[in-house]
Amino acid sequence: MSDYDKLTLKDGSYLYFKDWGSGQPIVFSHGWPLTADAFEDQMLYLASKGYRVIAHDRRAHGRSAQPWDGHNMDQYADDLAELTAHLDLQGAIHVGHSTGGGEVARYIGRHGTERVAKAVLISAVTPIMIKTDFNPDGVTLDVFDAIRTGVLNDRGAFFYELSAAFYGYNRVDSNESEQVRQSFVAQGMQGSIKGLYDCIAAFSETDLREDLIKMTIPTLVIHGDDDQIVPFETCGKVAAEILPDARLIVYEGGSHGICTTHKHQISDDLLAFIQS
């Protein structure tokens, strides 16, 4: 890797990142257990429209370093802050999918909006996924324990099985792509098993309500109403209600993996929001 796609962090680990094009920066934060490659369609599209597009592999994911510690939303947000400072980004649009949406929210919650113009939360884990006293309709702990078990027992097989629900391929009349499912597995297998295991608690248990309140910039929320991974009713819908300046777009029948299954619609909606 060149100096332009590897950033050494304060703790000595490093982030792999892509930095394409020129113009207003758009920064992408991917979901679990994927990599920056999950946003390749949107990056290609928006770079061709005159924007600078940047995406990193989260620590312990993809081609980034695999440290033992630091797999929590605070550290993910701080890593993102180091990247934006390293690149001296100004007026950036931050786009986060799933876990990446939590990362974007915590980044703004911890580091403010000085460098940020707008944000987009796609199928995001905000404000919180797990069932709690204040989130009684959330996902129960046993679901996340089953994910942990799957990662430990045979993560390749588990990732393949999970991809069916992730992209909605388990629905009648879905347009299943075996290649997309294999890519999901390949991206997941690049990551550290320790980092991916720890990230399950990070994406499911982190309370991001206060972070959403601090997102005072215009924020687009996109969520599929058939998301089998991060439920719309307790995440996307609630996040849009908490955000100070939110616009909500619901994809009818949309799965969790709409950046792939609805990639053209996502790209068009992103461009329209960026230009608005």
Q: Quick one: CA dihedral 107, 111, 115, 119, positive or negative?
A: positive
What integer pLDDT is reported at residue 74 of this predicted model?
98
* CB-CB contact of 110 with 74 (8 Å): yes
What integer pLDDT is reported at residue 4 of this predicted model?
54
* CB-CB contact of 14 with 168 (8 Å): no
CATH architecture classification, 3-275: 3-Layer(aba) Sandwich (3.40)
Q: Provide CB contacts within 8 A for 238, sequence distance 6+.
A: 127
- Global pTM value: 0.97
Q: Is 179 exposed, middle or buried (0-12, 13-18, 19+ CB in 10 A)?
A: exposed
Give the Cα separation of 205 and 249 in Å (integer): 25
Look up residue 3 and give its two tokens.
């100096």
Q: What is the pLDDT along the chain (276 residues), one digit of tens a residue?
A: 444 589 999 999 999 999 999 999 999 999 999 999 999 999 999 999 999 999 999 999 999 999 999 999 999 999 999 999 999 999 999 999 999 999 999 999 999 999 999 999 999 999 999 999 999 999 999 999 999 999 999 999 999 999 999 999 999 999 999 999 999 999 999 999 999 999 999 999 999 999 999 999 999 999 999 999 999 999 999 999 999 999 999 999 999 999 999 999 999 999 999 999
List, by residue number, the catalytic residues: 98, 227, 256
The beta-strand segments (E) located in 87-172 are 92-97, 116-122
- CA-based nearest residue to 227, from 200, 196, 246, 252: 252
What integer pLDDT is reported at residue 171 of this predicted model?
97
Give the Cα separation of 176 and 193 in Å (integer): 27
Sketch the domain layout of the chain as residue ranges: 3-275
What integer pLDDT is reported at residue 257 of this predicted model?
98
DSSP line for 70-109: --SHHHHHHHHHHHHHHTT--SEEEEEETHHHHHHHHHHH
Q: What one-letter code names the amino acid at 241?
A: E
Q: Provide CB contacts within 8 A for 128, sequence distance 6+.
A: 135, 138, 205, 206, 207, 208, 209, 235
